[in-house]
């Protein structure tokens, strides 16, 4: 009965949240990339450096993959999406990237979102001397433009409703590492598409496994798993399960 209940939960969640896709539209871009966007944002085209005043005066630069918005994502990057606050485990996310760097794994981390802990975490990142590797992008209307370039989605949240961002990640072929919050276990499909962790050390290890391909992950399978939940199929499955 447990597997039936879990499946119904997944179907209802998909009905509510759907799969929005992550192809960013031009109108979703929060700014137009020019030499001088405004008093707070400037872009050096030659060196491919976007400077944003605020959020700790973060400068984003690199030779990674361009999102098409003038921001480049470094290779082997991790992201976390959502409010930056204690309940979301944002402080633990910083500790996880610190652990990885202590092990010599110089991965980049992108915070996509804003919140009450942002300034505190910026100071902690600076204290850990990770300011070249941890980037605060602020709130983004369409975060999936960034997510599509990531290797792993990380969440250390204390509690969640249905994590719709995991659905989006899998639809883009991006695995997740997460604490055990609502829907994460079901979406992980017993570790096929995501890893459930308790400690920061476990999270760091699972990220490393994905980065080195020690953990098998089939992006095509993950995408197919998500795409099978069309509205028609969802309704059909709910009807069958109710009849049982």
Quick one: pLDDT at residue 10? Answer: 54
pTM tops 0.75: no
Give yes or no for residue 229 having a pLDDT over 80: no
Judge contact between 164 and 156, C-beta under 8 A: no
Highest mean pLDDT (candidates 17-31, 117-131, 151-165, 214-228): 117-131
According to DSSP H, which parts of the chain are helical?
2-17, 90-102, 118-127, 144-147, 164-171, 184-188, 200-211, 219-227, 231-243
Give the integer Cα–Cα distance in Å for 155 and 166.
Answer: 9
Quick one: pLDDT at residue 5? Answer: 47
According to DSSP H, which parts of 159-218 are helical?
164-171, 184-188, 200-211
The SS3 of residue 21 is coil
In percent, the amount of the chain with pLDDT more than 90 equals 45
Judge contact between 173 and 223, C-beta under 8 A: yes
**36 or 223, which is more confident:** 223
Integer CA distances (angstroms), 174 to 109, 130, 156, 168, 205, in order: 15, 24, 17, 9, 17
Give yes or no for residue 241 having a pLDDT over 50: yes
pLDDT band at 198 (very low <50, low <70, confident <90, very high): very high
pLDDT band at 233 (very low <50, low <70, confident <90, very high): low
Give the integer Cα–Cα distance in Å for 149 and 235.
Answer: 33
Give yes or no for residue 112 having a pLDDT over 50: yes
Rounded mean pLDDT of 81-108?
Answer: 96
Highest mean pLDDT (candidates 8-22, 100-114, 136-150): 100-114
pLDDT band at 141 (very low <50, low <70, confident <90, very high): confident
pLDDT digits (tens, 9 = 90+) for 24-56: 333 333 333 334 444 554 545 444 444 444 444
Quick one: pLDDT at residue 135? Answer: 96
How far, in whole angstroms, is CA 168 from its chain's centroid?
Answer: 9
């Amino acid at each position: 009965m447990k597997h039936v209940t879990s499946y119904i939960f997944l179907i209802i969640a998909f009905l509510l949240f759907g799969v929005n896709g992550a192809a960013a539209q031009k109108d979703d871009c929060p700014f137009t990339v020019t030499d001088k966007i405004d008093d707070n944002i400037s872009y050096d085209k030659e060196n491919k450096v976007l400077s944003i005043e605020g959020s700790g005066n973060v400068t984003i630069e690199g030779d990674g993959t361009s999102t098409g918005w003038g921001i480049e994502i470094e290779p082997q990057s991790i992201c976390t999406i959502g409010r930056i606050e204690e309940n979301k485990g944002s402080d633990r996310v910083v500790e996880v990237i610190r652990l990885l760097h202590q092990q010599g794994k110089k991965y980049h981390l992108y915070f996509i979102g804003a919140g009450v802990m942002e300034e505190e975490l910026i100071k902690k990142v600076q204290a850990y001397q990770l300011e070249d590797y941890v980037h605060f992008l602020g709130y983004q209307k369409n975060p999936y433009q960034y997510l599509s370039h990531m290797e792993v989605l990380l969440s250390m949240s204390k509690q969640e409703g249905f994590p719709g961002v995991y659905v989006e990640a899998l639809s883009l072929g991006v695995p997740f590492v997460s604490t055990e919050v609502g829907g994460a276990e079901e979406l992980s499909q017993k570790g096929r598409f995501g890893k459930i962790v308790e400690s920061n050390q476990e999270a760091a290890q699972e990220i490393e496994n994905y980065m080195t391909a020690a953990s098998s992950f089939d992006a095509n399978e993950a995408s197919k798993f998500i795409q099978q939940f069309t509205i028609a199929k969802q309704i059909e499955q709910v009807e069958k399960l109710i009849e049982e």
